[in-house]
Amino acid sequence: VWVYGGEEECYAKGQVLSLDDSKGTVSYRIKVAGSTRDVRADSVLKANKDRQDGEMDNTFLRELNEASLLHNIRVRYNGADDGGCYTVTGHILIAVNPFRDLSIYDEKQIKRYLGRPIGSEPPHIYAVADRMYRLLASTNESQAIVVSGPSGAGKTETCKLVLRHLAYVTKDVTAAGMSKSSMELGSLLVMTNPLLEAFGNAETVLNRNSSRFGKFTQIHVSRKGAILGASIQTYLLESTRVVSQSANECNYHIFYQLVNSPDMAKHQISSDANKYTYLKSASGKATPRRGMDAKEFTVVSEVIDSIGVSNDVKLALISTISGLLHLGNIKLSENPNGDSYVSDMSELQLTSKLLSTNEGLLLQGLCSRTMKLKGSEMQIPLKPHEAQNSRNALAKAIYSKIFSWIIQQINSSLMDPNTKLDGSGILGILDIYGFENFEKNSLEQLFINFTNEQLHQHFAISLFKTEQEIYASEGIVWPGVDWEDNSECLDVIAGKAPSSIFNTLTEHSRLPKSNDGEMTEKLLADQRKSKYLFPPKLGKHGGPGGGGKAQRLTNKEAFVISHFAGQVIYRTEGWLRKNTDTLHEDLQLCMSSSTSPLLAQMFSVGTINAITGGSKGGSKRAGFVADKYARQLDELMRTLRCTQSHFVRCIKPNHEQKPRVFKDKLVLDQLRNSGMVDAVRLLSAGYSTRLPFNTLEKQFKPLCPAKFQSLPPAEFCVALLTAFNLSRTDFLLGLTKAFFKSGKLA
């Protein structure tokens, strides 16, 4: 059996010595690693025999539970086979980051999986990618692959492998009237990754190349299997990273690539990252880099050329990135009146030159704001901290627009406007952040966890559909099972009721004198009967596992949501400011009057919505971040619901990024947060153990009398299971497999 030993130990293998039910509850005396323990029955799960260690498909395990799932993944990961980083549970692929180069991704491996049904070859991302493409080609039903996991789990690399497979299988397929061939479009999709990573990825403590945004790539495929074009939609770029980073973390790659580029001096940039405020982390120093920035800058420059950006615009882009670094160096001091002023005009002059803005307008926009009264205007000086916030808001706004503009340029290169998409299908690749629960959780974590709640619901519904198809393919009637619907939790966060979190946040963002505390109190009062949202209890620094002195968070400071993956405490400090996605009018005017071909386009009134994804028509809610994100996510979910979805759960085995190091607690938390443990429970409610007839024959026929050995596979299995005295409710026989209730084939 497996014995749960708490958060740190997770599960240890033991042997039952005795059972005691004399006190009204069942408990076991178990021998574990030479010692004896008395444990409650709910801390014990059945284990499989050692011969089942390392099964490629977890549904082949005769005992399927979270302990056996964790153990089997660990055994495969620590094995000698490079393919051990992959395990499947039915059609769900679990990919554990190996943190080393493997020999299983070359062209020979792509060919190995071409046209092969799932299960006929060892688990692999190429198997999932090939199944997607073949299903689209044969049924014309759109397909999507959802790749999720925490930072450093390998999501980005997994998506690259899907694109590599797709580029290979479509290289010889052509479509009439296309300006680019399938091979060119497939190669371009792969080739644009360095540009996306330069502007959207950053080095963190846990991951050298961490994606700081979500991405959904839609690839349009003709009925003959040719790529017609593609588009990329992004979600939740972490704009705060542009102006501040935690200790030992970095800003976006592009800044360091520019600092280390051969042409840095030409762009008014020093090679010393410590000279730039925006490149210094909370430690006070620039974090040493682990990448090859100079070489990568050259690659990024080549990609920009390849997607059709003119040289003038490319130079304007580089100049703008340089200008952002110098913008962060503008010193805003306090004068005798307590108002802000720029104490070093040289940095402001250089910033203005690089951004091609009017120096006077930039100075005015940083140190004051215009207040409009009846028929007149007056300048209101900003305090130093207000001026710093204003400067940082400008930096974040410029960078966010640059990122959106880059996505727009990539999409233009991937989709010919004259291409006819009638009758084409879609292959979607969703690279999305996993569930988060930190010591301090803010609005960003709520957005991420709301996304995961939506995807968890989609995952459960898709799993039901896939299970039905598996049973149907074996000629078995689907035995319906119950599952816990999370619709109520979704409604609490973003439902139509005025009391939902997003609606409450928007309402208080509109009110001129509201504050975060009032909003939080109102939310808790309105949701007092909800089982998914409630006040915070005594905690350590507001999050799980936080050290230090315990403190009580008040109803003005935080609330708790009970998510599918566990309870999360959200601190609401700064939420109203974060939700109001606006730049004050003086700085908007300054940027829109820029002579830069890039900034003038980005900040002109007619193109702001196109570049930022805002709502057209001047909706009253258009400027609120939560509403924008809810609309984006709603559109994504509608798209996913129209596809047959495939799921890849990327797992990070250790924080040190070392090969062959597997931390049980870390992995088990991810299996729970990804919904895999819930999936196991759902499967176990049906017939979770599936064994091919030939497996049963191979194991038991040699032990049977001669007359049994001559029976055909299906008849032999019926005779065998009848001899085992199994009830007909304990198993089902399909065309090629036997389906068992969990634990019934021990």
Q: What CA–CA distance (Å, rounded) separates 597 from 599?
A: 6
Give me the catalytic one of 48, 58, 65, 151: 151
pLDDT for 612 equals: 42
Q: Is the confidence at residue 87, as pLDDT, over 70?
A: yes
Domain boundary assignment for the chain: 2-45, 687-740
Question: Does 594 belong to an annotated binding site?
Answer: no
pLDDT of 177 reads 60
Q: Across 150-159, 165-174, 725-734, which has the greatest mean pLDDT? A: 150-159
CATH fold of 687-740 reads Alpha-Beta Plaits (3.30.70)
- Unique residue bearing structure tokens 């979270």: 66
Annotated active-site residue 225? The verdict is: no
Residues 47-77 have pLDDT tens digits of 999 999 999 999 888 888 999 999 999 999 9
pLDDT digits (tens, 9 = 90+) for 226-257: 888 899 999 989 898 999 998 899 999 999 99
Residues 259, 273: contact at Cβ < 8 Å? yes
User: Measured between alpha carbons, how far is residue 490 from residues 213, 312, 454, 500 in Å?
Assistant: 22, 47, 7, 9
| Position 22 confidence tier, pLDDT thresholds 50, 70, 90 | confident
Percentage of the chain surpassing pLDDT 70? 93
From 124-133, 170-179, 324-333, the region with the lowest mean pLDDT: 170-179
Say what angle helices 345-355 and 359-367 make with each other, to 10 degrees.
Answer: 120
**Which of 201-205, 292-296, 365-369, 733-737 is the most confident on average?**
365-369
Beta bridge partners, 88, equal 57, 93
Burial annotation 261-286 (CB, 10 A radius, 16+ → b, else e): beebeebebeeebeebbbbbbeeeeb
Ligand-binding site membership of 171 (annotated): no
pLDDT, tens only, 616-668: 333 444 468 899 899 989 999 999 999 999 999 999 999 999 999 999 999 99
546 annotated among ligand-binding-site residues: no
Catalytic residue among 197, 436, 453, 467: 436
Confidence of residue 532 (pLDDT cuts 50, 70, 90): very high
210 is catalytic: yes
- Is 153 annotated as ligand-binding? yes
Q: Which of 231, 230, 228, 225 is nearest to 178 (CA)?
A: 228
475 among known catalytic residues: no
Where is pLDDT greater, at 688 or 133? 133
252-287 tens-digit pLDDT? 999 999 999 988 888 899 999 999 999 999 999 999
User: Under DSSP, is residue 529 helix (H, G, I), strand (E, B) or coil?
Assistant: coil
Q: Any binding-site annotation on 413? A: no
Catalytic residue among 68, 156, 357, 688: 156
- Please indicate if the annotation marks 151 as binding a ligand: yes
Q: How far apart are CA 465 and CA 526, in angstroms?
A: 37
Residue 672: Cβ within 10 Å count: 16
Question: What tokens were used for 482?
Answer: 């119950």
In the predicted model, what is the mean pLDDT of the chain? 88
- The better pLDDT of the pair 207, 652 is held by 652
Short-list 567, 569, 540, 547, CA closest to 557: 569
The pLDDT-based confidence of 549 (bands split at 50, 70, 90) is very low
207 has catalytic annotation: yes
**Is residue 367 scored above 90 in pLDDT?**
yes
Question: Tokens 């979190």, residue?
Answer: 501
Asked if residue 417 belongs to a known ligand binding site, the reply is no
Q: Which residue has the higher pLDDT, 22 or 39?
A: 39
Q: What does pTM read for this prediction?
A: 0.84
What pLDDT, on the 0 to 100 scale, is given for residue 74?
96
Q: Which of 59, 182, 211, 217 is catalytic?
A: 211
Residue 452 annotated in active site? no
Is 156 among the catalytic positions? yes
Confidence of residue 32 (pLDDT cuts 50, 70, 90): confident
Longest dimension (CA), the chain: 104
Mean pLDDT confidence for 479-501: 88
When mean pLDDT is compared over 313-327, 421-435, 715-729, the highest value belongs to 313-327
- The pLDDT tens digits for 555-613 are 999 999 999 988 999 999 999 988 986 788 899 999 999 999 999 889 885 443 333 44
Convert the pLDDT of each residue in 585-597 to its tens digit. Answer: 899 999 999 999 9
Phi, psi of 499 (to 5 degrees): -85, -5
Among left, alpha and beta (phi > 0; psi -120 to 50; other), residue 291 is beta
Residue 581: predicted pLDDT: 67
The single residue of 65, 68, 89, 207 carrying the catalytic annotation is 207
